Structure formats: structure tokens, C-alpha cells
Amino acid sequence: MGLVTAKLEMTAAHVVAMSILVLNLRKIPCALLQFWHWLLRLCESCKIWGSYSVDIS
């Protein structure tokens, strides 16, 4: 009976660890998207990616 209890505890710990991993994996793309948005706003404010006008005469 002790072996069954130990196996159930190990399985329950595995389920909890996997659910935490899945929740964190969902947060990674959101964080990358927020960083990309911040980087684009930074580039626009610094005129790195702004519209440039070139006078060709």
C-alpha cells in the first residue's frame, strides 16, 4: 500500500509541475509581444524607423 501511495504522490507532483510549466509557457509569447511593442515604440520615438524624406535634385 505504501508503494501505491508513493506513486500517487509522485504522479500528483508531476501533474502540478506540468500545469505550472504550461502556464509559464503561455506567458513567454505574451512577454515577447510586449517587448516587441515596446521596441517598436522606442524606434519610432528615436526616428530609427521613422519616415525619412530624401530631396533628390
Q: Domain residues of the chain, as ranges?
A: 1-44
Dump the DSSP string for the chain: -HHHHHHHHHHHHHHHHHHHHHHHHHHHHHHHHHHHHHHHHHHHHTTSSS-------
How much is the pTM?
0.47
Confidence at residue 46, expressed as pLDDT on a 0 to 100 scale: 75
- At 2-50, the pLDDT tens digits run 777 888 888 999 999 999 888 888 888 889 999 999 988 888 877 655 5
Confidence at residue 16, expressed as pLDDT on a 0 to 100 scale: 92
pLDDT score of 57 more than 70? no
pLDDT score of 52 more than 70? no
